[in-house]
Structure 1
């Protein structure tokens, strides 16, 4: 039963909720610490390779320098509901720059926008001299909330309902 898995357990990635979020077209929100020490959250398209959550961006952005300096990140992929569904992932970002369009960029474009529009976006990005960066996060901590069986802070629906009273 998934309700007995503690928050942080990597086995939560195998739950129906996590699999729905990883297969969804909801944006991943990548949280990291910028070079000036302030927090940042960026909504990004993502692709799951099986072992990693991968986000692609163009090389030379400020977030890449920040991620290299402080690779610890958090990702949330969520659906507003009702009821809300939330997948939380923590890990370290590994940034790799490549010449050309990343396969994960192309896969994400097709999944989010469909074959025709996805291919058009890839063709538009695939220009001479383009460099992309692969931001890969291998989950080290996983959490889920579905507000039916799993709630922020643990406990039951009744415990959750009593909060703030």
Structure 2
């Protein structure tokens, strides 16, 4: 039986796990303070249950997400056919003195341990403040354009759309 789009069980699929461990950026969609939509690419860390993002204090997205915590996130691979993991949920934002703990893990995964340490060291100074943005997915979608298509269509239906 195929797991339906929206099911949290999709997080356990091969495609979801591949993308959650990848170095593809998370594209985070939120509503800005002026009411307009924004999409912002960010490094991320997957804890196994929560998607963690980090940003420095003063970033406008912090207050915007606190005001309207509903987020949509896409982690995708621009391959042919493309692969995409779609996440939706309510974010939690916590201000922190110092570097968000998962920030180091993000940089290690994206840049390797040595360069990751240099990246973190470059910003880890006395007085630095960050925000930890966490998203526990409430809705999950997976697209691979081979077995899972937008709108829940079949391969034949998708091809006939033109």
> If the length of structure 2 is used for normalisation, what is the TM-score?
0.98
* Larger mean Cα displacement after TM superposition, 149-158 or 18-27: 149-158
Q: Which runs of 4+ in 1 moved over 3 A?
A: none
Deviations 1:54-104 (A, max 9, x none): 001101211001000000000000001111000000001100011111111
Any idea what SS the aligned residue of 1:153 has? helix
Gaps of at least 5 residues in structure 2 are: none
Residue 50 of structure 1: how far off its partner (Å): 1.2
Structural mapping, 1:1-165, within 5 Å: 1=1, 4-164=2-162
Query: How many angstroms apart in 2 are the aligned matches of 1:99 and 1:155?
Result: 47
Query: How many angstroms apart in 1 are the aligned matches of 2:96 and 2:152?
Result: 42
> If the length of structure 1 is used for normalisation, what is the TM-score?
0.96
Between the two proteins, the alignment pairs up a number of residues equal to 162
Any idea what SS the aligned residue of 1:13 has? helix
Query: How many angstroms apart in 1 are the aligned matches of 2:67 and 2:38?
Result: 14
Residue 156 of structure 1: how far off its partner (Å): 1.3
